[in-house]
Structure 1
Amino acid sequence: MTGTKSEARAHVLGGELRALRREAGLSQRALAGRMDRAHTVLVRWERGQRIPDSTGIEAFARALSLTVVERDRLVQLAREAADEPVNEVSAGAAGQTDVLGTLIKFEQVATEITTVSTALVSGLMQTAAYARLAIGDSPEIETKVATRIGRRDVITRDRDPARYTAYLLETVLQQRIGHDVMCDQLRLIQRLGDLPNVSVRIIPEACGLTPAHTGSFALLEFAKADSVVHMEHLSSVVLLRDRDDVEAHRTALASLDELALSPGESNDLIADVIDKMETTA
């Protein structure tokens, strides 16, 4: 895994710069030559590891003959990235809070989000009651619950919602956390699954061990920036940007796509679980 201190906005800016360079049909070395800069500087810009200043953006815009509007947009993106606090892959409460801030920014600009849930319902689909149980004892629990519920806007907003695919192990549907809480949670999953941009896929127990059993994760994809993988554990959070790491998770998702039930079959299974819960209540 490659460690990184890249920020969400710096990452997005880097993707914009890379896309503009490629549209012009230039290699990094060729463009750097036009700008009279070392190509390693451009490499760091595109990876979000370094934020160009206004002079750098001016040189970039001139080298590609960008319009004033395009140049000013890049300058604004660079300013926003420079003002953003650094978020590092970290452990502990402080580190989790920092990475959560970065994750939220990534979710807000992602075009596609795919989650794999092995023990808990994905945070983007949790009800408030379920979230309280998942978060556990915390002096700021209501703030954390509100933040988690608010994140759902990225898939339910009217304008350009992210495409969302949720893979869940069948056992996630059968947790004994209280009849009312679980039934309400399952109904919410069904309602979200009815959205045109949302797909819920259940991985049946009959499949045995699958790539999902190695742990939960989320893949976030963007219009121009490289994809990112998010993983969260008891006291640590990590964002993977290394291409090999991201590709490994993409391969795992391809396997799950073949194993999981279709959205319609998944909805029927969830309905059966709700019926059984209500019958035995």
Structure 2
Amino acid sequence: MPPRRAITGRSQEPRARFAEELRALRRESGLSLREVGQAITYDFTHVARMETGESLGGPELVQALDALYNTNYLIILWEIAQKDPSQFKLRYRRYMEMENEATSIQIYSPCVIPGLLQTEAYARELLSVGGLQGVERDRQVEARMGRQEKLRADGSPYLRAIISEAALRTPLPDPSRWRDQLRHLLDACDRARTSLQVAPLTAGIHALTNTYVDLLRLPEGRSVAWVESGYSGELVEETGPVERFQLSYDQLRDQALSLNESRQLITETLEDVECDPVST
């Protein structure tokens, strides 16, 4: 088994260390990127992005590489790189770039209105309770509103959003701003390239119960997923895991209310707010 290399001055950053090790092991093996991909039955482009530090890949892919190179430490280096706080921003920035290029976007949000369907007031409140304040919060709100512009442009991506009924049952503190958010959702229902469905609470526990997922279809035909759970997020590019998220999404879509039923539920929620004597 190849010994683990000592960390040098140029490889102390966890992501760089991981990529450096992948490159060194492949050179020692004498295999090309394409041959590595064939040996582990993954698209070789995933390995290429990992070797350049562009992607960390997923645990199954890393374990396959550990087996191929007869090592047992790549998965350890991967876990260290995953836990590096700086990596979340890098992953999220790459996801944002992909979202901007996507031809279709499929979202499931388990507890809040997803960013592409938020009003400015909703986004500001959500970011505030998350701990952001001042200039940084304003910058994040502006960026979130900017992401929505492409949905109104010619040739916009097709957007399908499924939101949990729980999101409709969790209003903003200010009733007038909550009404604006609900109207904003109804306006989205009228857009030709947007489909909005509600997953009712009666659907019960499902594969995505506590998981936010955003599935992007890219121009070259492949799909990727952005997945959030709690306080962490991960860009998933490997075909197998993405397909499993897609299957879970499709199964949830079958359980969701129809487009018309979803619109009706949002309308009824809006009417309840407008009729509430406390909020008028």
User: Does the CA contact (< 8 Å) of 1:87 and 1:102 recur in 2?
Assistant: no
Unaligned runs of 5+ in 1: 6-36, 52-81
Query: Which amino acid is 1:126 matched to?
Result: Q
Distance 1:207 1:41 in 2: 43
SS at match of 1:50: helix
Change (3 A) 1:278 1:38: closer
Pick the aligned partner of 1:114 from 91, 106, 131.
106
Q: Which residue of 1 aligns with 2:159?
A: 164
Q: CA deviation at 1:223?
A: 3.0
Deviations 1:146-186 (A, max 9, x none): 1111111232222x211110001111111132212221111
Q: Give the aligned residue type for 2:176.
A: D
How many residues align? The count is 213
Q: What does 1:133-152 correspond to in 2, within 5 Å? A: 133-136=125-128, 137-139=131-133, 140-152=136-148
Partner of 1:173: 168
Query: Secondary structure in 1 aligned to 2:172?
Result: coil
Is residue 2:220 matched to residue 1:228?
A: no
Whole-Å separation in 1 of the counterparts to 2:184 and 2:121: 12
Q: Which amino acid aligns with 1:114?
A: Q
Specify the code of the residue in structure 2 equivalent to 1:173. Answer: L
- Alpha-carbon distance between aligned partners in 2 of 1:124 and 1:165, rounded to the nearest angstrom: 11
Point out where structure 2 has 5 or more consecutive residues left out of the alignment: 1-14, 16-31, 58-81
Secondary structure of the corresponding residue to residue 213 of structure 1: coil
Matches within 5 A, 1:253-272: 253-272=249-268
Greater length-normalized contact order (CA 8 Å, ≥ 6 residues apart) = 1
Please tell me whether the aligned partners of residues 108 and 212 of structure 2 are also in contact (alpha carbons under 8 angstroms): yes
Provide closer, same or farther for how the CA distance between residues 41 and 213 of structure 1 changes in structure 2, counting only shifts above 3 A.
closer
* 2:6 matched residue in structure 1: none
SS in structure 2 of the partner of residue 212 of structure 1: coil
One-letter amino acid of the counterpart of residue 191, structure 2: L
Aligned-partner Cα distance in 1 for 2:97–2:220 = 15
8 Å CA contact 1:113–1:220 kept in 2: the answer is yes
Change (3 A) 1:182 1:92: farther
| Match of residue 100, structure 1, among 88, 92, 97 | 92
TM-score normalised per structure 2: 0.68
Q: Which residue of 2 aligns with 1:184?
A: 180
What is the alpha-carbon root mean square deviation over aligned residues? 2.6
Aligned ranges 1:21-60 → 2 under 5 Å: 39-40=34-35, 47-50=45-48
Alignment-derived partner of residue 247 in structure 1: 243
Aligned to 1:28: none
Whole-angstrom CA distance in 2 between matches of 1:196 and 1:213:
28
Name the CA distance, whole Å, in 1 between partners of 2:206 and 2:151: 27
The equivalent of 1:207 in structure 2 is 203
Q: Distance in 2 between matches of 1:100 and 1:234?
A: 15
Aligned 8 A contact 1:87 1:98 in 2:
no
| 1:88 and 1:98 in contact (8 A); partners too | no
Note the C-alpha offset of 1:249.
Answer: 0.9
Q: Which amino acid aligns with 2:234?
A: V
Q: Please state whether the residue corresponding to 2:183 is helix, strand or coil.
A: helix
Distance (whole Å) between structure 1 residues aligned to residue 55 and residue 33 of structure 2: 27
AA aligned to 1:138 is L
Which amino acid counterpart does residue 153 of structure 2 have in structure 1?
R
